[in-house]
Amino acid sequence: MLRLPRSFLLIACALAPGWLQAADSTATGLPADLQAELDALQRRTWYPSTSARASVGWRDNVLLSPFAPMAREFARGEVDAMVLRPMRDHWEFVSFFNGDVLRYFSPPPETGGEQQWSLHTEGRWQPIDAVRLALKATGYLRDMVIDLSESESRRVVAPTRVRGGIVGTTTRLALPAGFGFEPSVQVKRTDYRAYAGDYDEVRSGGRLEWRRTDSLALSAAWYEVRRGYAQRQQFTAGGRELANTHLRFRQRDGELKARTRWSAAGDWSLAVTGGRLENRDGASGYFDYDQQRARLESDWRRGRWRLSIDAEAKRMDYLVQTVGAGIAPPPRISEDYETTLRGERELNPRWTIFAEHRWERSRSNELEFSYRANTVLAGVQVSF
């Protein structure tokens, strides 16, 4: 008997609200039990869904040290919850809650573990089929070891608590020939505890997408970002702080993305993304850098099995900062790599077992800015 997880049905409602109204057991040939479950969902107004995960694992460089890695075993608990109200009378609402707590069995003095919490709420209004407007709000809290050295003159890696919020609006316009345009504006506020990195940020831009079928989608995006820091000061080209100044960044971010799906010994999906970001401080240029990035996301499903891989690489070339001493020291270069490999096996519609490996590497022509880290874990998930 075919039975889909409730989370799959809820996502289908969120992404394609008209599908439930259009689905018919005679026209589509859906199995009777699946059609009955879809009909039951259609009669309801709000659809909650919850999943919880518990796992144990090992991390070989807890404090991201370049010289003396410290390994620790840990236990991790996660919870995801979603509430959905499908499109009715031109309105749709969806809310996500995520919690992630990690604790080391033998914690080092610097940190007992990590935690991440976030809540996202979104309301969508679709007056006609070709236009959809959305208002989004997100709040988050993270308490974890963070590498804050991307735009610093010194290495800053420490347990850090950061909280913030994002409010934004997005408009989705359906254009002829399979094109769609999505302009957006968002305002972000980030507050750090014990680090002078608080900032306000405004991000605006848009994404143009072409998709004729589910098998292929191409998109291009461009965003302008304005960030102002509350406490960080501007620097001279030689790396000295300037009193009574406030650091400001202007970023230009462009991205190209291709996504495809196909079936061959299972269901496959693949997404490839390439992007470039220019960061300018509007002062001496000490924090100016150009970033190139690439990302690969692949997913395979067959029966009760699922395998996925997510790999990302970034390179930052600094325009003013240099490394070392001498008459002509080389400019600073920073590279970051990360891969996550995950496997899942569904035991029944409620229970799933999984295993995951995450590899990180940060490399720079300054030795103290380089490190490696591996995290492996295995656990079980239950869905309600």
Average pLDDT over residues 238-244: 87
Distances (CA, A) of 332 to 11, 276, 317, 365: 44, 18, 6, 7
Mean pLDDT of the chain, nearest integer: 88
The backbone torsions φ and ψ at residue 107, rounded to the nearest 5 degrees and listed phi first, read -70, 140
Beta strand residue intervals within 129-215, DSSP E = 131-147, 157-174, 179-193, 199-213
pLDDT at 28 over 80: no
267-310 pLDDT, tens digit per residue, is: 999 999 999 999 999 999 999 999 999 999 999 999 999 999 99
Domain residues of the chain, as ranges? Answer: 1-44, 48-383
338-357 pLDDT, tens digit per residue, is: 999 999 999 999 999 999 99
With left for phi above 0 and alpha for psi between -120 and 50, is residue 170 left, alpha or beta?
beta
Average pLDDT over residues 247-264: 96
Cα separation of 353 and 96, whole Å?
23
Query: Distance between terminal CA atoms of the chain?
Result: 19
pLDDT at 141 over 50: yes
Q: What is the pLDDT of residue 155?
A: 67
pLDDT at 23 over 50: no
The backbone torsions φ and ψ at residue 108, rounded to the nearest 5 degrees and listed phi first, read -70, 165
Class of domain 48-383: mainly beta
Q: What is the pLDDT of residue 91?
A: 92
Average pLDDT over residues 140-157: 74
Cα separation of 353 and 55, whole Å?
10
Q: DSSP label at 42?
A: H
Average pLDDT over residues 214-223: 95
Question: Are 288 and 317 in contact, with CB atoms under 8 Å apart?
Answer: no
pLDDT at 32 over 90: no
59-113 pLDDT, tens digit per residue, is: 999 999 888 899 999 999 999 999 999 888 899 999 999 999 999 999 998 899 9
